[in-house]
Amino acid sequence: MNKFLETMSAPTEVEAELPVDPAAPVIDATAPELPAGFTPREKKKQFKRDKRDVHGWLVLDKPVGMTSTHAVSVIKRLFTAKRAGHAGTLDPLASGCLPIALGEATKTVPFVMDGRKLYRFTICWGEERDTDDTEGKAIANSDLRPTPEAIRALLPAYIGTIQQVPPKYSAIKIEGERAYDLARDGETVELVARPVQIDRLELVDVPDADHAVLEAECGKGTYVRSLARDLGRALGCFGHVSALRRTAVGPFVEKTMILLEDLEALCQKAASGEGSLADALMPVETALDDIPALAISRSDAARLTRGQAVLLRGRDAPNFRGTVYVTVSGQLLALAELDRGEIVPKRVFNLAGLIGRAGVMKG
């Protein structure tokens, strides 16, 4: 089990399908003879489901114990989708918001990666571990326990732009090697502190003297495990993360999540003609929540589709510059750069196929 919270890596590669079940039954020797030249491999190919074009965002409420990579594989299989990727790894020990992009939505992953992230986590006091979570081995101990007042008094020092040293067991690369691979091999891992942004950090519960529950709102590159480690050191009692839940990533919040078992049930209903999987997917443009939208005519859309720039004239032409997402007849067409009325396409979308249509519920 991967035990590392790689919250800010950007693995958006297309995931492979799940391997064939090794326990699958063999061909019955008493069955009718196969045609000449018909091999088991060809028989397997014959029954393999064709993949299809599926476009949109699925916000999975990832269960504890599942890797982000496996979650993507499961979703891809359920939708028989050609392409899929996630917007920020969530550790197997963590639960919660894992936005999964399908099809053309994979082109918008960077916009979600750069969005705010909300976490609720529990710190277990009295012990620091080499992984900064429950899976590691203890490397420092203390009989001291912080009071709620001491914890609250310390938190302002960790709000704003701070310097943070990532965990030794993290996905950060050191001379081409992942830090966690080096740490596993027993090599000394020295990571340099880097700036991260924490906009909010609050103590929400103290269930007992050994534990504290906190909430954090932070930006890209922040490690919650490092935060727990540093708070424990500053309080003189040590600490590590014992529970973690991500409650939001960019525009995706708890109200938009779906449990895996509920999604599987929806897939069964859709297969029998009751409802559609499109109801579980949010539109591709949901990821572009903070970007201005610009509607254009069909004739201008044809030029953008070919990769050609379009110049808008007249008093209604936009006079600002920056990134916009372009629509035609209400449908997403492209991501583009706008400069004094000129639209230069950067990413063009082809939304033929199953398109997400679930509404966005903001919390």
Please tell me the distance from the alpha carbon of residue 267 to that of residue 95, in angstroms, as a whole number: 22
Q: Are 362 and 254 in contact (CB under 8 A)?
A: no
| Identified catalytic residue from 61, 91, 133, 300 | 91
Three-state DSSP state, 69 = helix
Please tell me the distance from the alpha carbon of residue 92 to that of residue 263, in angstroms, as a whole number: 19
Q: Are 290 and 283 in contact (CB under 8 A)?
A: no
Structure tokens belonging to residue 213:
């529950």
Task: Report how far apart, in Å, the C-alpha atoms of 275 and of each of 101, 222, 256, 264, 352 are.
Answer: 21, 40, 18, 13, 20
User: Going along 68-193, which residue ranges are E strands?
Assistant: 84-86, 94-102, 117-125, 127-129, 138-141, 160-164, 173-174, 177-178
Pick from 197, 259, 256, 193: nearest CA to 230: 193
Pick from 180, 178, 220: nearest CA to 198: 220
Which stretch of DSSP H or E encloses residue 67? none
Q: Are 233 and 141 in contact (CB under 8 A)?
A: no
Q: Determine whether 185 is an active site residue.
A: no
Half-sphere exposure in the Cβ direction for 18 (13 Å, CA):
15
Query: What residues are annotated to the active site?
Result: 91
